[in-house]
Every structure is written in structure tokens, then in C-alpha cells.
Structure 1
Amino acid sequence: MLLLRAREKMMDRFRPLITAQGLTEQQWRVIRALNEKGPLEPRQISDLCTISSPSMAGVLARMETLGLVTKERFADDQRRVRVSLTAKSVKLVKVLSRDLEAEYGAIERAVGADVVAQVYQAVDALLAGLDED
């Protein structure tokens, strides 16, 4: 419950910035993942963004319709698809990144950069420990 409450407090700050650009949280997570990692297969995006595969199919279909991503089949295996960002999404990353970074700065000023760093370290350690299981 504590982690969920913390997530919601954070998203209360970021959600308005994301929705002001006409994006859902899931769409922004997909855009962020593709921006950071480059073109990926839907399964990889699902894993990175913690979005179930059935939901991911719908998210990607809507994103393709909105001109946010493109899908390309692999030449050697037509069953596999590679998803990439469009120029429209790259532009959104630039616009949103400024606003999101400003909000991260406000959070650091509110709670202290040391607290933010400790939270990152603790969550990274938690995830690494859980991945070992």
C-alpha cells in the first residue's frame, strides 16, 4: 500500500502534464521506453512498461492510429513486429521532458535531493532483490 500511495502522489504531479499533451499514462510509458531503448517488440515493451500483453495490443493499435508509433514486420519472420516512434512522438518527448524535469526539480526541492536519491537506491535494490527470486 505504501508503494501504491507513493506512486499515486507522484502521478498526481505528472498526470496533468501527460494528459495536457493528449496522452494516457500507458501511452507515455510506451513512448518513454521506445525513446530510451529504441525500436522494440511488443512483448519487450510490455515488460518494460508493466502493461499486460492483451492491453498492450490495444494501446499500440490506438497509438498507431494517432500517429505516435509505427509497426514494421521482421523480414525473416512475418509473425514478429518491431515498434518505433514517429517524429510526432519524438517531438512530444522533447516538449514533455522539459515539463517533467521541472516537476522532478520541484520534488527534489520539496523533499530534498538526498531523499530522492535514497528512494531511487531503495527501489533499485528492491527490484534487484525480487528479480533474483
Structure 2
Amino acid sequence: MSPEEQGRASAEQESLTIQLLRTREALMQHFRPMLSARDVSETQWRVLRSLYERGEMEALELARVSAIMAPSLTRMLKVLEERGLIAIMRHPTDGRRVLISISAHGREFMLEALPEMQRIYGRLSLAIDSERMRALQKLLKEVADLAELPASDV
């Protein structure tokens, strides 16, 4: 690949990553008022939703499924536990590990918030039909799955 071609490829890649960030911001502007009204950050919401939908899990798995860096998660868990939204307990067979679950209060919180979240998704789906949305989600998953490949294979 010539230097000129490499430059174009680099610009296209940068454009893709910037476009993905812009897309995320465009979507999140619809959700932020609902999260703000409930005094929950975007990352806290992802953690609560992951625990609500998937159940109890260890911190590293929770960080992975919530798309949060582990050090950030550690700080956040303390806040969510202090608010009574999650429970943290020692692993029954390995005291070095912890298990995190959504608390009864956290479950109530989610049950109150999810209908509004679904209304927002409903409004967004009016702009993009369900077939195109499914195709977009499939393509985004394919791109995200590239993270599982060694860097030399991409």
C-alpha cells in the first residue's frame, strides 16, 4: 500500500471511529434526561441494566458486559452499593473474589425506569425501521467482535 493509500485508509478509519462516537452521542442525548432525573450516570445505568438482565456476576465479567474499564467499575460499585442498588458479597468458595448482584431496591429502580427507556427506544424506532435497526445491530456486533481477535489478525 502506497503512503497515499495508507493516508486515505487512516482517514477513513478515523472517520469511522469519529462517526461511531457522534452516533453514540446522538443517541445518548435522548436518554440522558431520563438518567439525570434518576441521578444515575450512563455507566451506572449500564452496570445496573447488566445485573438486572443477566443476574449475579463477578466484577471482571460485569466490566466486560457493561463495556467499562475495571478500575472505573471498582469505584462505581461502591457508590451503587451505598445507594442500595446493588449487593456485593464474597464468593462462597474463594474469598478473594466477589459476586455482584442487583438488590431488591435496584430491581425496583429498574422496573420504574425501564418503561421510560422503552418509550425512548420506541420513539427512536420510528426514525429507523426495525429491519434496518436489526441490520445495524448485527453489523455493530461484527465490528465489536473484532476486539476478540489478536491485533495482528485485524
Tell me which of 30, 54, 65 is aligned to 1:37: 54
Tell me which of 68, 84, 90 is aligned to 1:67: 84
The gaps in structure 2 that reach 5 residues or longer are 1-17
Aligned partners of 2:100, 2:121: CA distance in 1, in Å?
A: 28
Q: Is residue 2:101 matched to residue 1:80? A: no
Aligned partners of 1:126, 1:54: CA distance in 2, in Å?
A: 25
Q: What is aligned with 2:31?
A: 14
Aligned partners of 2:131, 2:92: CA distance in 1, in Å?
A: 48
Amino acid at match of 1:94: L
Using CA pairs below 8 Å that are at least 6 residues apart, which structure has the higher relative contact order? 1
Aligned partners of 1:46, 1:7: CA distance in 2, in Å?
A: 19
Deviations 1:74-101 (A, max 9, x none): 1221111001111111112111111111
Report the aligned-residue RMSD. Answer: 1.3
Deviations 1:20-49 (A, max 9, x none): 111111111101111111101111111111
Q: What is aligned with 2:115?
A: 98
Aligned partners of 2:125, 2:39: CA distance in 1, in Å?
A: 27
- Decide which structure has the larger Cα Rg and report it: 2
Aligned partners of 1:111, 1:49: CA distance in 2, in Å?
A: 25
Q: Give TM-score scaled by structure 2 length.
A: 0.81
SS in structure 1 opposite 2:57? coil
Q: What is aligned with 2:130?
A: 113
* Aligned-pair identity (%): 28
Aligned partners of 1:97, 1:58: CA distance in 2, in Å?
A: 25
Amino acid at match of 1:98: P
Number of residue pairs matched?
A: 133
Q: Is residue 2:65 matched to residue 1:48? A: yes
Aligned partners of 1:66, 1:74: CA distance in 2, in Å?
A: 22
Structure 2 CA distance for partners of 1:112 and 1:24, relative to 1, 3 Å: same
